[in-house]
Amino acid sequence: MKVHEFQAKSVLAGFGVPIPRGDVADSPSAARAVAERLGSPVVVKAQIHAGGRGLAGGIKTAATPAEAETSAASLLGSLLVTPQTGPRGKRVRLVLVEEAVNAARELYLGLAIDPSKEAIVIMASAVGGVGIEEAATRAPGLIYKEYVPAGGRFQDSQGREIASALGLEGKTFEQGVKVATALYRAFEATDASLVETNPLAATGRGDLMALDARMVFDDNALGRRPDIRALRDPGEESPLEVEASRSNLSYVKLDGDVGCMVNGAGLAMATMDIIQQAGGRPANFLDVGGGVTEAAAANAFKILVSDPDVKGALINIFGGIVRCDTIAAGIVRAARETGSRIPVVIRLEGTNADEGKAILRASGLAFHPADGMRAAAEKIVSLVRAAGRRGSGT
Ligand code: GDP
Ligand code: MN
């Protein structure tokens, strides 16, 4: 789960990371009021669940409260397109108004999970700021890395290595150790999968301050982190993603036209690969998981067909704990209720597959049964193509 910059900053401040004074605003007049209260030049920052805002015009400095109002007016309601938003961009509904801090140097600190090393990786660079992604691709050596193996502890010596990699000295060095340690604690204590501050500014006075912050949390841990779960902003997620998470389904929107409904993440990956091999493009990744009920299967099908990009669906179920007849009953119910007319190829294998196929046949609905994954993928791709040719009227 992603959160906004202002939320990430408030979480990190709770662990002792220094952040600028500021507040969020949802209208130009509210932004002006925050700037008045701060009584200094400010930065007005678009709050969207994506980075790359600086280069896309989403960060504006304002010398006076009146300028802050104008900046907020130009940002609020606008569509921000950055390399991280996708081509459709994201609508700005909130801005963060903060005291402008003079950065003598811009540093980078980030924490993530490195699955291949089974460790938390702490990344540091003395050359942070908006160009870091590009700079690091050209010269990977720019990023210094420390690892804390799963179950291990972040050592003081690692904090010092990081502070020297950031090029800090004297009292700023000590602050660097503290900030790195605080970020690590925050990462662990919130079940984060990503914590990033870029830039971490070193001010002219030699103080460190996180001018930007990003956090992503492990969805599977939200059950035990109600305070983090409360930070969810459904307005930033596509309505279908919100609907899916309500039904306990994992759903990821992609940019193709073949909807996929599967059980299990491994089968989802394999299904997407095979659709691609058959010359098609998956429109999503919808995993109903294990132990799915008829109602959840019906919801999954409804989510699938309500995406206007989906021109056909491939349902690929390998029944283990999940029973194929349960899935089939859910699909039949949802297909009747939605009256959807898109082609649907269904492959059922494993527990109660024969019962499931019988339910599909008895429904009288025009499903396309398929045996085997490859055959199923080839069939849906050709059906979607045929429908496209008819639809284009040529
Ligand atoms: P991003 O582009 O989405 O990562 O947004 P950032 O919050 O990192 O802002 C982009 C750039 O704006 C930063 O790299 C800074 O150079 C600048 N910036 C952001 N906040 C402040 C601030 O409070 N003071 C100053 N002087 N610059 C800021
Ligand atoms: Mn940034």
Delimit the domains of the chain by residue range: 1-20+102-236, 21-100, 238-392
Look at ligand 1, atom 14, and give the residue with the nearest C-alpha. Answer: 129
What kind of fold does domain 238-392 have according to CATH? Rossmann fold (3.40.50)
Which residue of the set 5, 69, 108, 161 is catalytic?
108
Confidence of residue 44 (pLDDT cuts 50, 70, 90): very high
Structure tokens at 319: 């029944």
pLDDT of residue 391: 66
Residue with tokens 């030699």: 206
pTM: 0.77
Neighbours of 139 (CB within 10 A): 9
Q: For residue 13, how far is its CA from the centre of ligand 1 (angstroms)? A: 18
Q: For residue 210, how far is its CA from the centre of ligand 2 (angstroms)? A: 10
Encode pLDDT of 235-253 as tens digits.
887 778 778 877 888 888 8
Looking at every residue in the chain, the average pLDDT score rounds to 93
Task: Please state the atom number of ligand 1 nearest to the C-alpha of residue 50.
Answer: 3
In the chain, which residue ranges form alpha helices assigned H by DSSP? 5-13, 28-38, 65-75, 132-138, 156-165, 170-189, 226-229, 239-246, 265-277, 294-306, 324-338, 353-363, 373-392
Q: Answer yes or no: same fold for 1-20+102-236 and 238-392.
A: no
- Concerning whether 108 is annotated as a catalytic residue, the answer is yes
User: What secondary structure letter does DSSP report for 221?
Assistant: G
Encode pLDDT of 214-233 as tens digits.
999 998 899 999 999 999 99
CATH superfamily of 1-20+102-236: ATP-grasp fold, B domain (3.30.470.20)
- Candidate from 130, 132, 198, 215 with most ligand 1 atoms within 8 A of CB, to mutate: 130
**369 Cβ closer than 6 Å to some ligand 1 atom:** no
Domain 21-100, CATH among 3.40.50.2000, 3.40.630.40, 3.30.1490.20, 3.20.170.30: 3.30.1490.20
| pLDDT at 394 exceeding the cut of 80 | no
